[in-house]
Structure 1
């Protein structure tokens, strides 16, 4: 299984009054990881969109395990959990000092931007994710 690993740091604006990372920051970190994972696999969102396709989030799940605090460094691990011609599910792990702080996933549908209707993904995109 291919995994991308990105190093990040908790920014002040990503914390709440208690000094821990605000829960909404995790979905943004997932997006950062997902974008980098796609680039690593040769799938660039802009090119996908120029071809008339979109990849929309239809489900988001986060399981918080340990808090992250302002200025702490952590890693975003991103990988594909499931893929078929209509949908892709990305998995995520947020890790600090080899300890899992959060896990989660996002499910995405491939759509035609012209109609916002679900469609089959281009075969070359699926092949990029499957290393074919």
Structure 2
């Protein structure tokens, strides 16, 4: 464990995400990243509604994706999200694997805090995010990395 939050979600590729050959359209991989990102943010109790309630929005300002193998209709996917940075921006890494462990895609997103009322971009993460990370760390046992 890196000392920062990470999570994994499992999903099955729905029919409407695939083309007539049964292959997932490339744009849907971003949706899968988003599902994992939401799960990761929930682990630190800082989901999108909480962000808004505390006066911030976090737009994605950079996105990188590398497609390695196609996902297909009906396939079960494991989507991992891992926090890389949080002090000045939120940088997250993602990996999508099939059930055999083959990596299908990987990528990163960068989000920055913007004050909801003023629309001004923050040059550091707001105290509320830093507090949520600190609380998350308190729940992690320093002995073995498991949650208490």
Deviations 1:82-101 (A, max 9, x none): 2223x111100001121110
Q: Which residue of 2 aligns with 1:55?
A: 58
Flag structure 1 segments of 5+ consecutive residues without an equivalent.
Answer: none
Residue number among 76, 93, 96 corresponding to 1:94 in the alignment: 96
- CA drift at 1:15: 0.9
Report 1:75-86 matches (<5 A): 75-85=78-88
Q: Which residue of 2 aligns with 1:126?
A: 130
Mean Cα deviation higher: 114-123 or 73-82: 114-123
Flag structure 2 segments of 5+ consecutive residues without an equivalent.
Answer: 139-148
Contact map agreement 2:82 2:92 (CA 8 A) in 1: yes
For residues 97 and 111 of structure 2, what CA distance do their matches in structure 1 show? 23
| Larger radius of gyration between Structure 1 and Structure 2 | 2
Q: Which residue of 1 aligns with 2:29?
A: 26
For residues 81 and 95 of structure 1, what CA distance do their matches in structure 2 show? 19
Structure with more of its chain in strand, by fraction: 1
TM-score, normalised to structure 1, is: 0.91
TM superposition outliers: structure 1 runs of 4+ over 6 Å: none
User: What CA RMSD, in Å, does the superposition of the two structures yield over aligned residues?
Assistant: 1.5
Matched, 1:5 2:22: no
Deviations 1:10-64 (A, max 9, x none): 1111112332111000111111100000001221211110121111100111100
For residues 124 and 93 of structure 1, what CA distance do their matches in structure 2 show? 27
